[in-house]
Amino acid sequence: MPAPAKKSFSTAPVFFTAISTILGAILFLRFGFAVGTLGFWGVIGIIIVGHLLTIPTALALSEIATNKRVEGGGEYFIISRSFGLNIGATIGFALFLSQAISVAFYIIAFTEAFEFFFDWVAERYELVLPRQVISIPSMLGLSILILRKGANIGVKTLYVVVAILFISLVMFFLGRTDHAASSGFSLLNAESRNPDMFFVVFAIVFPAFTGMTAGVGLSGDLKNPKKSIPLGTISATLSGMIIYLFVVYKLALSATPADLVDNQLIMADIALGGRIIIPLGLAASTLSSAIGSVMVAPRTLQALAGDWSFPGKRINRFLSKGRGETNEPFNATLVTVIIALFIVAIGDVNMVAGIISMFFLVTYGTLCLISFLHHFGSSPSYRPSFKSRWYLSLVGFVISVWVMFKINTWYALAAIIIMILLYLYINNYHKGRKGLASIFTNALFQLNRSLQVYLQKTSKSPGEKEWRPSAICISRDTFDRDNAFQLLNWISYKYGFGTYIHLIEGYYSKATSEQAGQELGKIIKNFESLSTQVYLDTLISPSYTSAIAQSIQLPGISGMENNMVILEYDRDEPSGLNAIVENFALVNAGSFDVCIYGSVKRQINFRNGIHVWIRSTDYENSHLMILLSFIIQGHPVWKKSKISIFEICEREMEPETRAKLNQLVTEGRLPITSKNIQIIQKDENRSPKSIIETHSESAGLVIIGFHSEQLRHDGTKMFEGYGNLGNILFVNAHSQKEIS
């Protein structure tokens, strides 16, 4: 088995790869045309629409990248691990071709910096040279550089050309023109022209927006992708947007619409020393964009081959093979530069530019859709340290699809048809690879839950692999207090499923059946205003014991089996505690996690947070207790609360215990800071209950673990001795839960 590749890059390469592609050929060659055609406000509209697409994508990328480690392949890796390898390969192939042809696009644009040379040859020798005189040697030189030196030399070169690009932009903003002095242009009198040309011009300048995700393709070479991808991508996107706004203002101020349309290097007439610095900046921008693309495209191809996406084993082995300790994708780079060189030799990428734009839009839309589905699915395992918003992701997805068809309906349809055919082909030779499992399953569970609750509210209404609570609560005291329902609602609000059973003690008859229907309607009405996600029902049974036996056999509202039973008693008047203790063995006979909720009448101070107490005997319970605190905190009433973890241990075990808890919280991406983890040494002169009372007297909720043997031995005394505490949730886990 090959040794893991060395990760050598930090955040800077992500930022510079992205910003150099954002501030590329389109900025220098097409923004003047855009301003001349649409006017100042028209191009501002293009920038707004473009960033309504790119900013949600950047946020979605950042969010997904901080949930799980993003390995080599960048965007392809994210999509394939969310939608499955077959759909991932379909989009990955299109993404790779887009990136590879982008190399050729930037090299061809690079030749425009040598317009003075072509004009001089034409004037001196009356000879019209093809652009390939510059573009082919440039492509060959870049290819040799990357193939021989790898991405490290590419990044070093990137720093140099970005510095030149920065200087050229500074000189552009320092430049002055006679038109600027006499035009009287301001934001108040700025124009918007030719609205019917908006999307025609948008299609021309759209490649300027595709550089935003360029740095993500370096994910396999990053030391810390969870930090570098969000920071580099978002900062590049926002920086590019700000620079665009100032460039558009400067162009509108400095030249007439006719000059802006007719002179593609109008920036050279505006900049200070523009005849030298702007061609140099254009050369730097296009070369840096080409370098960024030629570093990213091979890594996408290498990741595709690493997942055996191609039909032949030899092809996959050849393309996935790396070189050196950084696993440099030499073979994939060779294929990339051959494709780019072929396009450069043709010299005209206009025919494929539209389709390429479509593939980029498909990629952006897919990333936004993944983020939206993760939000909608609300899986407990989806805990990114950077969070976007579901509505931003939805906006990004909708705008991606809308822009595709507005740019060119036929190109959009062609791209979709090509993707479908490619997917069918891949699915045919990879029949065993299943996709769409996790992300859509979570979304479907959420949809199913919401539909079940909605159907129950409007009319009479009648397993997931990863763990989430599917809880059932049985209570006789619904009309006396709603504490049990509150707890179940906290647990099921965002991440879990809840079924609340109101017990009517008696034998089933026409009278009790009618009573059950009436009381159910009353309960639904009482809780209707709480935005509850709990399924409500009534049960007629002759005793509390028989009611429990019946209820624990009911399926959950999601169709999955219930895995948690919640029992509740009033700590101020604990008359119902005896019945709970007597029936614990019955519940414990099944594969249930058992939560016994000791509630009090006083108002909960949610700001005082949730305290989780772990003792040395709580190994099986500890993970469930921590997960429950995270799940309960997902309810809006706990939004401003903090989770605090306390563990009582021997003095000599304190460093090891703290290290284990910190590792659990960090690797589990739980919203708990190290300062909220307290290790308390055992004190022979004080009982654990006394220690808990001292530290958690004001807590909104205290979570404590217990074991069946302890309950069997101590009975109701186990729940006594916490007189100063508020609400207590006693937790007994059937098995240890995984926090991953």
C-alpha dist (Å) from residue 470 to 133, 467, 566, 569: 68, 9, 11, 21
Domains of the chain: 11-429 (1.20.1740.10), 602-740 (3.40.50.620)
pLDDT tops 50 at residue 682 = yes
pLDDT at 358: 80
Instruction: Say if residues 623 and 737 touch (Cβ distance below 8 Å).
Output: yes
Q: What is the DSSP string of 691-704?
A: HHHHHHTT-SEEEE
User: Tens digit of pLDDT for each residue in 609-619?
Assistant: 999 998 877 77
Average pLDDT over residues 147-153: 66
Q: How far is CA 139 from the centre of its chain?
A: 36
Question: Which residue, 404, 411, 399, is CA-closest to 355?
Answer: 411
What is the pLDDT confidence band of residue 1, given thresholds at 50, 70 and 90? very low
Specify the pairing of strand 610-615 against strand 497-505: unpaired
Phi and psi dihedrals of 564, rounded to 5? -145, 140
* Residue 501: both structure tokens together: 């059973």
Angle at 490 (CA atoms; ends 487, 491), nearest 5 degrees? 90
Lowest mean pLDDT among 365-379, 392-406, 458-472: 458-472
Instruction: Say if residues 681 and 652 touch (Cβ distance below 8 Å).
Output: no
Percent of the chain scored above 90 by pLDDT?
A: 20
Q: What is the dihedral of CA 673, 675, 676, 682, to 10 degrees?
A: 140
Instruction: Say if residues 663 and 689 touch (Cβ distance below 8 Å).
Output: no
Average pLDDT over residues 166-191: 86
What is the pLDDT confidence band of residue 595, given thresholds at 50, 70 and 90? very high
**Of residues 72 and 362, more confidently modeled:** 362
Percent of the chain scored above 70 by pLDDT?
A: 87
What is the pLDDT confidence band of residue 465, given thresholds at 50, 70 and 90? low
What is the pLDDT confidence band of residue 558, given thresholds at 50, 70 and 90? low
What is the pLDDT confidence band of residue 540, given thresholds at 50, 70 and 90? very high
User: Tens digit of pLDDT for each residue in 260-281?
Assistant: 998 888 898 999 988 888 888 8
Phi and psi dihedrals of 172, rounded to 5? -65, -45
Exposed (0-12), middle (13-18) or buried (19+): which is 673, by Cβ within 10 Å?
Answer: exposed
pLDDT tops 80 at residue 326 = no
Average pLDDT over residues 501-529: 90
Average pLDDT over residues 108-121: 83
User: Tens digit of pLDDT for each residue in 399-425?
Assistant: 999 988 888 888 888 888 888 888 888
* Residue 25: both structure tokens together: 């050929």
What is the pLDDT confidence band of residue 738, given thresholds at 50, 70 and 90? confident
Mean residue pLDDT of the chain comes to: 82
pLDDT at 429: 76
User: Tens digit of pLDDT for each residue in 84-95?
Assistant: 788 788 888 888
pLDDT tops 50 at residue 49 = yes
Instruction: Say if residues 162 and 284 touch (Cβ distance below 8 Å).
Output: yes
Find where tokens 């028989």 sit.
Answer: 546
**Of residues 361 and 466, more confidently modeled:** 361
**Of residues 720 and 460, more confidently modeled:** 720
pLDDT at 460: 46
Question: Which residue, 41, 53, 20, 256, is CA-closest to 154?
Answer: 20
What is the pLDDT confidence band of residue 44, given thresholds at 50, 70 and 90? very high
pLDDT at 462: 41
User: Tens digit of pLDDT for each residue in 423-443?
Assistant: 888 878 777 665 555 566 666
CA distance 692 to 214: 52
Beta strands in 309-371 (DSSP E): none
pLDDT at 375: 79
CA distance 577 to 596: 9
pLDDT at 2: 44
Average pLDDT over residues 482-488: 92
User: Tens digit of pLDDT for each residue in 25-42?
Assistant: 788 888 899 999 999 999
Question: Which residue, 19, 579, 722, 68, is CA-closest to 374?
Answer: 68
